[in-house]
Chains A and B, each alone.
Chain A
Amino acid sequence: MYRIRFTDHLILILGALFLCMPVVVAFMTSTHTAADIHSNGLSLAWGDNFIATYEKVLTQKGGFTGDITGARMVMNSLILGIGFAVGKIVLSMLAAYAIVYFRFPMATLSFWVIFTTLLLPLEVRIMPSYQVMSDLGMLNTYSGLIVPLLASATGTFYFRQFFKSVPEELLEAARIDGAGPFKFFIDILVPISRTMIAAIFIIMFVYGWNQYLWPMMMTTDESFFTLMRGIKSILQVWVGSNIPDYNEAFALAILAMLPPVAIVVIFQSWFIKGLTESDK
């Protein structure tokens, strides 16, 4: 047997500290006042300004036009996260169903057309994408925020792998039981994909929630700002101010990381399963 040594624990503890400390520091510091932070630096101790800071961040109207609150940004982030996750699941489940369960002349071509999108991340075609959105008049809309992000094959890939792992006999039994393509999809495939759908939902929600570059380009109207976009603008205001609002920036960061961190910790096993076992 391998003997567990002290150094094993030491390495793990150091690793955990390295990864988690910055988050703890960010949270603790956000409970202090800006002046306090400015004079004493970041803090590991609990301050007494927690409620004031978060109340201000969530409710005070900020930005240049003054009509965006933190709460509004949270809502926009939720809309983006949920809208993206739902759209992704619907589109990719349908497409994967067609590819795996149907035989048709264009199957291979469709497969290629869809999976080529995995080659080029949004970042490298960001300018022309912006132009297309501008031509379509989709700037500063929720659909403009969400729909273009759906143009990738990740979800389709997950579902394709999953569908292929579904025992063949299930379809055969369903055929003998008189189920056609619609019935099979609704009665059998969707229900047995529930866990997979849930796993993909949280993964895609986090992905949508975390979007930065796209919302930054797509939204100039502050009422569409997401939390990530808000972080950008709080930093822009910051440049040149005497005592930057460190506490508010940290509070915004904590709000922005709360759902992803909570999801990862709570749904740990699902999350890992969804990520690592999708190829089975």
Chain B
Amino acid sequence: MAAIDISSVGKIYNGGVRAVSDINLDIKDGEFIVLVGPSGCGKSTLLRMVAGLEAISEGTVKIGDRVVNEVEPADRDIAMVFQNYALYPHMTVRQNLEYGLKNRKTPREEIDARVNEAARMLEITQYLDRKPRALSGGQRQRVAMGRAIVRKPAAFLFDEPLSNLDAKLRVSMRGEIKRLQRRLGTTSIYVTHDQLEAMTLADRLVVLNGGQIEQVGSPLDVYHTPASTFVAGFIGSPAMNLVKAELQGDKLAIGPSLISLNGYAPTSGAVTVGLRAEDLRTTSASDGMPFTVEYVEELGSQRLAHGLVGDQALTIALSGEAEITDRMQLTIDPSKLHFFDAGTGKRLEARALAKAAPTLAEPVA
């Protein structure tokens, strides 16, 4: 077990394409880090550089106290779980688990002990003598995990390990990975494009976009204070509403409606405002934001109403029983508003955040 220190790491492919640039990340011993972002954001490349499957073009990667830039993947003391499992199809489950240990000349009794322990932990003992093709997707996934566990590595690297599984299995395997990681306490880096998976697994989330880090933080930090419109739109479901608006003194103009901010305005002029669907409330007062409903998605426990404020799309989340009419008035607690620079998309901190107690937005007279 070890800490992983990624400093100023970048990847430039032959031909000059830059996949990753200037990544700095201190991963503590035993921490579960999730790299999340859309496809092509460089998350897999970063993971593969840590694994040693991609050459590191710039910067250094340290595992423990050792710089591993030039170290063979087999000697980095890591284990990796692949998206398509990458089990050796001609070997039995047991042989798959043993292969890495055998190559390291681990003593026979030690191999048996570790394989049996891992098999018990993953409940695959009865499959040890089967070939991978005789296993279901979930079982193969367990074997792939087992192959990582028996190695007792300093770090686990997961490359979208659950994306080949169906939705239900994905949820249960997700829980299992979390449980195992807690139990073993092994430092882990996990790559996914699924924000829900990222939220539920991570000690710390690293949101990547275009080869750069957008934000690092605990799942709730990232959820509640997204550092940019990109993060705001990526994390959370339904995605945060992002609308163009204008700050006029202490008032916020969204289309035709004005919201009083009670001193929360961070700046003035054009901004992008983020509103979480669940933070929006309906009001019976006639002077909220006028919202025209276009269609409703029923999720059972929730109803998602999609529609327009002015000419901008907006989604609100209401409780399962809430009544929805074609035209509604919306209101929001100004402290729940997120402000982003209209040009750069970076977060603007509300000035009054510390002093003012949250009050309901007062409709503008």
Instruction: Identify the A interface with B (CB < 8 A).
Output: 167, 169-170, 172-179, 183, 187-188, 191-192, 194
Contact (Cβ within 8 A) B90 A194: yes
Contact (Cβ within 8 A) A176 B100: yes
Contact (Cβ within 8 A) A178 B104: yes
What 1/0 mask marks residues of chain B from 89 to 113 whose CB sits below 8 Å from any chain A CB?
1110000000110011000000000
Q: Which residues of B contact A176 (CB under 8 A)?
A: 51-52, 73-74, 78-80, 100
Indicate whether A172 sits within 8 Å of B104 (C-beta atoms), given known contacts A177-B74, A178-B74.
Answer: no
Contact (Cβ within 8 A) A178 B84: no
Q: Which residues of A contact B127 (CB under 8 A)?
A: none
Report the minimum CB–CB distance from B3 to chain A (whole Å).
20
Task: Give the contacting residue for A169; candidates B72, B82, B99, B104; CB below 8 A.
Answer: B82
Complex Cα gap A173–B48 (Å): 12
Instruction: Identify the B interface with A (CB < 8 A).
Output: 51-53, 72-75, 78-80, 82-91, 99-100, 103-104, 147
Q: List 9 A-B contacts (CB under 8 A).
A: A173-B87, A173-B88, A174-B88, A175-B52, A175-B73, A176-B74, A177-B100, A177-B147, A178-B100
Complex Cα gap A103–B77 (Å): 25
Q: Which residues of B contact A194 (CB under 8 A)?
A: 90
Closest to A166 in B: B89
Closest to A175 in B: B73
Complex Cα gap A170–B84 (Å): 9
Interface pairs A-B: 4 shortest CB-CB: A169-B86, A177-B100, A178-B103, A178-B74
Contact (Cβ within 8 A) B103 A192: no
Closest to B85 in A: A169
Q: Which residues of A contact B103 (CB under 8 A)?
A: 177-179, 183
Report the minimum CB–CB distance from B52 to chain A (whole Å).
8
Report the minimum CB–CB distance from B49 to chain A (whole Å).
13
Closest to A173 in B: B86
Contact (Cβ within 8 A) A172 B80: yes
New A-B contacts (5) at CB < 8 Å, excluding given A167-B86, A176-B73, A188-B90: A169-B82, A173-B82, A176-B79, A176-B80, A177-B147
Complex Cα gap A135–B90 (Å): 47
Contact (Cβ within 8 A) A169 B74: no
Complex Cα gap A167–B73 (Å): 18
Complex Cα gap A176–B100 (Å): 8
Report the minimum CB–CB distance from A193 to chain B (whole Å).
9
Contact (Cβ within 8 A) A191 B90: yes
Report the minimum CB–CB distance from B187 to chain A (whole Å).
16
Indicate whether A173 sits within 8 Å of B89 (C-beta atoms), given known contacts A178-B74, A178-B104, A183-B103.
Answer: no
Complex Cα gap A60–B87 (Å): 57
Closest to A179 in B: B103
Contact (Cβ within 8 A) A192 B86: no
Contact (Cβ within 8 A) A187 B72: no
Q: Which residues of B contact A188 (CB under 8 A)?
A: 88, 90
Contact (Cβ within 8 A) A170 B86: yes
Task: Give the contacting residue for A172; candidates B86, B87, B90; CB below 8 A.
Answer: B86
Task: Give the contacting residue for A175; candidates B72, B83, B147; CB below 8 A.
Answer: B72
Q: Which residues of A contact B73 (CB under 8 A)?
A: 172, 175-176
Q: Which residues of B contact A175 (CB under 8 A)?
A: 52-53, 72-74
Indicate whether A172 sits within 8 Å of B100 (C-beta atoms), given known contacts A178-B74, A188-B88, A192-B88.
Answer: no
Complex Cα gap A174–B73 (Å): 10
Report the minimum CB–CB distance from A104 to chain B (whole Å).
15
Contact (Cβ within 8 A) B72 A170: no
Q: Which residues of A contact B90 (CB under 8 A)?
A: 188, 191-192, 194
Q: Which residues of A contact B79 (CB under 8 A)?
A: 176
Closest to A183 in B: B103
